[in-house]
Amino acid sequence: MSRHFSMIRDFQLADWFTLANAICGTAAIFAAMRFLQEGGVRDLMIGMALIPLAFIFDALDGRVARWRQQSSVLGRELDSLADVISFGVAPAALAYACGMQGGWDAAVLAYFVACGVSRLARYNVTAESLAGGGDKVKYFEGTPIPTSLVLVIVLAVAANGGHLGPKLWLGQLQLGPWQLHPLVLMYLVSGTLMVSKTLRIPKP
């Protein structure tokens, strides 16, 4: 007889850290939505603060898995799914909340998320070959998706100085039917670097 919640009972300790990462990212998205509803900058800043916390949980899950020697395919998939939320969708939602709401902005933010999803999917497929027969991947192809933390830090500095909406750094441009906030181009660069196959970064 199968047990209720048998999947959850099979989670390792590291998997709970991964889920904490996903919860932080989800809460950051909710905070961005609340800011758009009520306009409280405090909500926005809380959402941004949750991304570094997600980064900490993301770092801890790997360390805990190695410490307990309990790495698994399930854990790797969980990690990727959590990273998509916390370092892909959440940073894009925070950027939108900060004022990057033009048509071109939305296209760039969608591109950024798609790059993050693609980069994680490629990593999961190629992790075994990148490990070179060992247990640990030796380098990253393209920048890891958690590097989007840098984008959130930039947004936090801007928000803290009141540079939101019409006051967003670098202003806005009208290109054809849609608006573009030049600051969103940092998401374009970040996404492009994530899907690069020629950029190789040694993994610590």
Q: What is the DSSP string of 58-96?
A: HHHHHHHHHHHT---HHHHHHHHHHHHIIIIIHHHHHHH
Residue 188 has pLDDT above 80, yes or no: yes
Mean pLDDT estimate for the chain: 85
Output the six-digit token pair for 115: 């790059």
Domain boundaries 6-202, corresponding CATH code: 1.20.120.1760
- The residues spanned by each domain of the chain are 6-202
Mean pLDDT, residues 151-175: 94
Per-residue confidence (pLDDT) for residue 138, from 0 to 100: 66
pTM for the full model?
Answer: 0.85
Residues 6+ apart with CB under 8 A from 54: 20, 21, 22, 24, 25, 28, 82, 86, 87, 90
45-71 average pLDDT score = 80
Question: Sorting pLDDT into bands at 50, 70 and 90, what band is 1?
Answer: very low
Q: What is the pLDDT of residues 95-152, one digit of tens each?
A: 999 999 999 999 999 999 999 999 888 877 776 555 455 555 666 778 989 999 999 9
Q: How far apart are CA 35 and CA 47, in angstroms?
A: 9
C-alpha to C-alpha distance for 108 and 112, rounded to whole angstroms: 6
